[in-house]
Amino acid sequence: MIKEYIQTHQQRFLDELFDLLRIPSVSADSRHKNDVRKAAEYIVAKLNAAGADRVELCETKGHPIVFGKKIVDQSLPTVLVYGHYDVQPPDPLDLWSSPPFEPVIKDGKIFARGSCDDKGQVYMHIKAFEAMMKLNQLSCNIKFMIEGEEEVGSDNLGTFVKENKDKLKADVILISDTAMISLEHPSITVGLRGLSYLEVEVTGPNRDLHSGVYGGAVANPINVLSQMIASLHDDTGRVTIPGFYDSVISLSEDERKKLNEAPFDLNEYKKDLNIDDVRGEKGYTTLERTGIRPTLDVNGIWGGYTGEGAKTVLPSKASAKISMRLVPNQDSREISELFTKHFLSIAPKSVKVKVTLHHGGQPAVTPTNSKAFKAASDSFVEVWGKAPIPTRDGGSIPIVSLFKKELGLDTVLMGFGLDSDAIHSPNEHYGVKNFLSGIETIVTFYKHYSKQ
Amino acid sequence: MIKEYIQTHQQRFLDELFDLLRIPSVSADSRHKNDVRKAAEYIVAKLNAAGADRVELCETKGHPIVFGKKIVDQSLPTVLVYGHYDVQPPDPLDLWSSPPFEPVIKDGKIFARGSCDDKGQVYMHIKAFEAMMKLNQLSCNIKFMIEGEEEVGSDNLGTFVKENKDKLKADVILISDTAMISLEHPSITVGLRGLSYLEVEVTGPNRDLHSGVYGGAVANPINVLSQMIASLHDDTGRVTIPGFYDSVISLSEDERKKLNEAPFDLNEYKKDLNIDDVRGEKGYTTLERTGIRPTLDVNGIWGGYTGEGAKTVLPSKASAKISMRLVPNQDSREISELFTKHFLSIAPKSVKVKVTLHHGGQPAVTPTNSKAFKAASDSFVEVWGKAPIPTRDGGSIPIVSLFKKELGLDTVLMGFGLDSDAIHSPNEHYGVKNFLSGIETIVTFYKHYSKQ
């Protein structure tokens, strides 16, 4: 019955998703403020149309949060669906083979910024809800909280959650904002890394100088920043910030063994990325490096002359955006402080250094023995023909630990993306099959979850 | 008589210079190709107006070279004046207090891109020539070669010089494209550093990746580039490229002592740049670091997300512009090769590295015992009331060694800029006094040079 409904309406589902994808709701870019709101309003309209009781556009200090619900019966369990309608900036634009906000289907995949992260995955839940309403199948309560600041650190969600504990009362959180291993190997994420994101600025002389006149005698902030960044890792790929690993919970040999049993082909991985070798912390496999180990990456760097040709400048400033992925039981605030203290301490006297916090998020582990997890697992078996493999993801969804702390709720991370979907990159895409089977899996989840 | 002429015409001199400064002749930027030509045509017109015999706009594969001459008598000595009408890019634009191509006088200084480097200094020679013609004082031959590619490595000047040896026949080269110590301490540059300028690109994965999904397992090209750049200097500030110092001619203790006798106040220097400390090769003073030691500076770096806010990207590429200042007897081509070989050799297997040569120039030393140097020295004594101090400059004018090699001619570097003129930086400026006294000094130079 649900299969049939999806088949009948799939073109409309895609058309509606495309309308949402056309809105450039880039939360990081203040020039897109109105577009972000437009995307929120679109979600409101579609939740209303699908049959939600009362959908609100909740204002925050930043971008608004969409809240909607359908209460079937107060005595039945309630699922709170979380997702986000904001997207990453699309640059570098010249690497997109089609414009990021003009969705197209190529080779069975929807190409557009946000197609997978997270508009496509959010929209599966709205259409699953519509189907259950139309087919009169919804047998538990459902709430939606779709925010617009996930890509910039969910700065205002904490306050919203704290101030609306009654409104958000539920039994479990359901989120589709992660990936599964492959279409052949469905999986459910059970661990997420946290995040500390900072920006650093190194200032040398008070103005750009001629590198011929001053070079060699005055600290060059690019050279100094490079040296400072280089020193953040030692020869074995470990982060050198004092105390960085202090709170990390080590997995047992058995847990590590299990983790490494997930299907993974290093040669395919290297081939896909066109790299001759992987690179990371010594003594850990690639799955461990991205799943259970904290890391430090420079996400952006700039300074001096970056235009065409050559300019012999010794610049006044150089900057970098640096983020760290955290694992249980590291604390994002503490790590940000350790970073700041250390980074300031390694600056030579010849420069001035400024460190600014962008945002952070706590790492999280979700339980695998809950009623909701079992329902999710069963729905994968029913739709995909295979039990999902529990995985640890490298990405961060700060909301998971926030929900646990503020609402006491566990989360099920039922994601349908693929690692190869190029989220946060040019040519982000999302499989049409993932989208449609995802809707079916979500409906099936509610069936199993309500039955128990 | 010359003093009077300058006083009478100084407003017109400045107006004409301002017209030249208004032309954005940025040779590095192909969008300014027509502006570069416009500046060349302006020089042609003004040399003609001043009384040159025959001024030509000589085409090259790049920007044209202006050649003009006045032959008074074939039996008299000939001075070849070299200069350049192209300018550095003006960015970062937001740091200019007035637009770079709208010259204004503030506190007795002309603010505009090129005011000092080198339009202002070139224009002194054209006006000195005009004055000598009008006052019937020119008693030797004079030739002008003003090029438009100095700021991008003078790529086509070598061919022009080789193909026009007869046309360029002269007894000495006169260039005003350097600085003097201060208005109270006139000086003449007797040594120039050479240059090797390269661009490097480090490629990790074939596309931008999500730093959460891949971070820690795949080489981040920004981190790797930072490490590679950091490794180019050791703890004592020495460049680590094998063979880098092999050809460097060390100065004797006596020569070093003499060099350090030049007036220099380290506290003033630090205060002017607002730095708490200088930084450079251990065992050398600031004057030695910029004058007689080779150096390596990163002139620009970029990679990943550099926009507003935060983006958790593990970028595919990171790039940098890197230049080295060379001293006698280093060879620019050899150093560029050593750099390339070394930089490729230190790349980890997990990335691909590309090195591109921008341009180079040979270091040079000019003689202090020539007739022309003595004439220059005497003209400073006459106009500035003090014998000029011989200095070694950090900057590079590749033409000097080219002239020596191809034409067998020595150069006199009679520069009137100041190190604080912010050439290559926002708010470049040039003292009105430097400009006007420079014209007087040049006329006086010809007087002494012809007399002998």
Domains of chain A: 2-192+363-451 (3.40.630.10), 195-248+294-361 (3.30.70.360)
Phi, psi (degrees; rounded to nearest 5) at B413: -100, 90
- Mean pLDDT, chain B, rounded, equals 94
Mean local confidence (pLDDT), B244-256:
91
Give the gap in angstroms from C-alpha B424 to the nearest C-alpha of chain A. 6
d(CA B412, CA B322): 29
pLDDT-derived band at B288 (thresholds 50, 70, 90) equals very high
Residue B417 has pLDDT above 70, yes or no: yes
> Is the ipTM here above 0.85?
no
Chain B residues lying within 8 Å of A196, measured CB to CB: none
* pLDDT value, residue A261: 87
Assess contact for A394 and A325: CB atoms under 8 A: yes
Quick one: what percent of chain B has pLDDT higher than 90? 82
Closest residue in B to A195 (Cα) is B212
Name which of A154, A192, A228, A305 to mutate to probe chain B: the one with the most chain B Cβ atoms within 10 A of its Cβ: A305
* pLDDT value, residue A138: 95
Closest residue in B to A419 (Cα) is B213
Which region among A366-370, A426-430, B143-147 has the lowest average model confidence (pLDDT)? A366-370
Mean local confidence (pLDDT), B359-372:
87
Q: Which of the given ranges, A111-115, A404-408, B209-213, has the highest pLDDT on average?
A: A111-115
* pLDDT value, residue B354: 98
DSSP category for residue A287: H
* pLDDT value, residue A368: 87
Closest residue in A to B352 (Cα) is A275
Q: Across the interface, which of B215, B308, B314 has its CB nearest the CB of A29? A: B308
Chains A and B form CB pairs within 8 A to the count of 378
Name which of A181, A210, A284, A346 to mutate to probe chain B: the one with the most chain B Cβ atoms within 10 A of its Cβ: A210
Chain A residues lying within 8 Å of B278, measured CB to CB: 217-219, 350
* pLDDT value, residue B452: 56
pLDDT-derived band at A452 (thresholds 50, 70, 90) equals low
* pLDDT value, residue B120: 98
* pLDDT value, residue B101: 98
- The three-class DSSP label of residue A187 is strand
Residue A451 has pLDDT above 80, yes or no: yes
Closest residue in A to B422 (Cα) is A209
* pLDDT value, residue A210: 85
Q: How far is CA B345 from the centre of its chain?
A: 31
Residue A347 CB-half CA count within 13 A = 24
Give the gap in angstroms from C-alpha A27 to the nearest C-alpha of chain B. 9
Chain A residues lying within 8 Å of B295, measured CB to CB: 215-216
d(CA B233, CA B214): 30
Chain B residues lying within 8 Å of A348, measured CB to CB: 277, 279
Quick one: what percent of chain A has pLDDT higher than 90? 82
Residue A392 has pLDDT above 80, yes or no: no
Mean local confidence (pLDDT), A57-75:
96
Q: Quick check: A305 and B304 CB within 8 A?
A: no
- Who wins on pLDDT, B395 or A233? A233
Chain B residues lying within 8 Å of A30, measured CB to CB: 308
Name which of B31, B152, B203, B207 to mutate to probe chain A: the one with the most chain A Cβ atoms within 10 A of its Cβ: B207
Chain A residues lying within 8 Å of B155, measured CB to CB: none
Tokens of A434: 């993932």
d(CA B172, CA A208): 34
Quick one: what percent of chain A has pLDDT higher than 70? 99
Q: Quick check: A205 and B273 CB within 8 A?
A: yes
Residue B415 has pLDDT above 80, yes or no: yes
Q: Quick check: B215 and A290 CB within 8 A?
A: yes
Chain B residues lying within 8 Å of A231, measured CB to CB: 230
Residue A251 has pLDDT above 90, yes or no: no
CA-wise closest residue to B276 among A215, A218, A207, A224: A218
Chain A residues lying within 8 Å of B423, measured CB to CB: 210, 213
- The three-class DSSP label of residue A5 is helix
* pLDDT value, residue A348: 97
Q: What is the 3-state secondary structure (H, E, C) of chain B?
A: CHHHHHHHHHHHHHHHHHHHHCCCCECCCHHHHHHHHHHHHHHHHHHHHHCCCCCEEECCCCCCEEEEEECCCCCCCEEEEEEECCECCCCCHHHCCCCCCCCEEECCEEECCCCCCCHHHHHHHHHHHHHHHHCCCCCCEEEEEEECCHHHCCCCHHHHHHHCCCCCCCCEEEECCCEECCCCCCEEEEEECEEEEEEEEEECCCCCEEHHHHECCECCHHHHHHHHHHCCECCCCCECCCCCCCCCCCCCHHHHHHHCCCCCCHHHHHHHHCCCCCCCCCCCCHHHHHHCCCEEEEEEEEEECCCCCCCCEECCEEEEEEEEEECCCCCHHHHHHHHHHHHHHCCCCCCEEEEEEEEEECCEECCCCCHHHHHHHHHHHHHHCCCCEEEEECCCCCHHHHHHHHHCCCEEECCCEEHHHCCCCCCCEEEHHHHHHHHHHHHHHHHHHHHC
